[in-house]
Each structure stands twice: as structure tokens, then as C-alpha cells.
Amino acid sequence: EVQLVESGGGLVKPGGSLRLSCAASGFTFDDYAMHWVRQAPGKGLEWVSGISWNSGSIGYADSVKGRFTISRDNAKNSLYLQMNSLRAEDTALYYCAKDPGAGWDYFDYWGQGTLVTVSS
Amino acid sequence: EIVLTQSPGTLSLSPGERATLSCRASQSVSSSYLAWYQQKPGQAPRLLIYGASSRATGIPDRFSGSGSGTDFTLTISRLEPEDFAVYYCQQYGSSPVTFGQGTKLEIK
């Protein structure tokens, strides 16, 4: 059974940093691209960042480019999102999502999310 | 980036009725790279349809997707009580991938 478990969310002040983690199990992690998707309270879904199976291809939404860094450790079956210079508009539930292939596709499995709140 | 516009914003129907949800793209979605998701309150999104018309694993056949180019449709043939939720379309044919704003399907 595919499982994605996010952690690392919390309350942080504007300008602060946070590192999210996603622990994956139930599939061969290093065969698939992985993504972060966020959802602001009461709002829709927004793709944040994606990373190919071997970290050779990485992409970011314009809204986070230059502030967020995605990475993965295939030996630990883990995905990460380093978030710097956080803003109030980054407040959201952050989902880890699995790609069905090696590149940028749709998302066939999702975690339950970790909440990031940016507030003074 | 491709903007996806979903309509209607809210759809009020009764169990047993047919639901038709629309997703219109600001430009053609290449190779019909369009997916649909269902999200219930407090839950993560669940993949329903990919490639515009292929059902994901375990999805009942009352859910079907159609369309190409800029116009796509999700149809639920006979609504079950568990189908009332928010539905999102997503295109993955062009970078960045983008989502529609969602359609809320509520019980009439």
C-alpha cells in the first residue's frame, strides 16, 4: 500500500524558514517523480514544486521560485521542501504527491498534508 | 501558463441524478493531459480520471471523463451519497501544471 506521510509543518513568523519532509513507503521510491502541492485554507490546489526520480529535473511555481528548494533522498525514501523567506500567503496545507511516472504528470497518490502557518 | 476555468462553481443535485462538470482551458491541453480529482472535507484529493478519459484504479464506472483541446467534462452517471464533494481538474501537458478552481457538488 502506498503511503506518504508529511511532517515539519508549524507556526512560523514572516521571513522565517521551515523544512517539510515526506516519508514514502509501499512503492519503489526512486522510480518516480515527486511533488509538493499546497492548499490555502478554504481555497483550491496549487502545484508548488516537483523533482524527477534522480533529481535531474526540478521545477517550481513562480510564487515560490528563489525561496523554496525541493530535494529527495532515495536511500531514505524521503522528499523534502526547504522553505525560506516565508510570507503570509504561504500559509497552507502542504501535500506530498506521487507522480505515476518519471516526469511531470498527474498525481496518483497524496499524503494527508502538513499545515504551515505564517503569522507574526 | 494554462488557466483552467471550472463551471459551475456549485452544482446542487439529488442522489440518483446525473452530474456534468465542465473544465475549460485558456489554450489547448496537449495530448489530452487532463486529470480530475475528488476532495472531501478534511481529506486529501483523490485521483479519479487521467488522460482526460482513463479511470484511475478502483474508481467506479459511474465516473467518466471526456473532451479534448480546450473543453473537458467529468460526468457522474448516477450520484451516490458519497459523491458529494469538491472536484478539481488539472492539466499536465504544459509547465507549470495548473488546477481549476473547483466545482462543489452539493446535495439538493
pLDDT digits (tens, 9 = 90+) for B2-52: 999 999 999 999 999 999 999 999 999 988 899 999 999 999 999 999 999
Q: Which residues does B58 contact at the CB level (< 8 Å), separation at least 6? A: none
User: What's the distance, Cα to Cα, between the start and end of chain B in Å?
Assistant: 35
Query: Does A6 have pLDDT greater than 80?
Result: yes
Identify the DSSP state of B73: E
Closest by alpha carbon to B72, among B56, B44, B92? B92
The pLDDT value recorded for residue A103 is 77
- Give yes or no for a contact between A70 and A58, defined as CB atoms under 8 angstroms apart: yes
Q: Does B102 touch chain A (CB under 8 A)?
A: yes
Q: Chains A and B: how many Cβ contacts under 8 Å?
A: 53
Q: What percent of chain A has pLDDT over 70?
A: 100
Give the span between the Cα atoms of A39 and A97, in whole angstroms: 13
In this structure, are residues A2 and A69 in contact, taking their beta carbons and an 8 Å threshold?
no
Is B59 near chain A, with CB under 8 Å? no
Q: Is the pLDDT of residue A48 over 80?
A: yes
Backbone φ and ψ of A43, nearest 5°: -115, -175
Say what the pLDDT of residue A27 is.
Answer: 97
* Mean local confidence (pLDDT), A15-35: 97
One-letter amino acid for residue A78 of the chain: S
What pLDDT, on the 0 to 100 scale, is given for residue A53?
94
Angle at alpha carbon of residue A33, lines to A31 and A38, rounded to 5°: 145
Q: Evaluate whether A24 touches A77 at the Cβ level (below 8 Å).
A: yes
Q: Which residues of A touch B103 (CB under 8 A)?
A: none
C-beta atoms of A105 and B37 within 8 A: no
Instruction: Nearest by CB to A110, from B45, B90, B99: name it.
Output: B45
**Whether A44 and B33 lie within 8 Å, measured CB to CB:** no
Residue B86 CB contacts under 8 Å (≥ 6 apart), including other chains: B38, B39, B40, B102, B103, B104, B105
CA dihedral A38, A111, A84, A51 (to 10 degrees): -90
Q: Is B101 close to A44, i.e. CB distance below 8 A?
A: yes
Residues A45, B37: C-beta atoms closer than 8 Å: yes
Q: In a 3-state reduction of DSSP, which class is residue A69? A: strand
> Does residue A24 have a pLDDT over 80?
yes
Question: Using CA atoms, how far apart are residues A20 and A116, in angstroms rounded to an integer?
Answer: 9
Predicted confidence at residue A94, as pLDDT, reads 98
Q: Is the pLDDT of residue A104 over 90?
A: no
Percent of chain A whose predicted confidence (pLDDT) is above 90: 96
Interface probe, candidates A36, A45, A62, chain B, greatest B C-beta count within 10 A? A45
Distance CA A93, CA A37 (A): 8
Residue where the block lists cell 524527477: A52
Distance of CA B61 to CAs B53, B57, B77, Å? 11, 11, 9
How close B54 gets to chain A, by Cα (Å)? Answer: 12
Contacts of A110 in chain B (CB under 8 A): 44-46
Chain A contact for B35 (CB, 8 A cutoff): yes
| Residue A111 in contact with partner chain B when CB distance is under 8 A | yes
Cell numbers found for residue A94 = 502542504
Mean pLDDT, range A48-65, rounded to an integer? 96
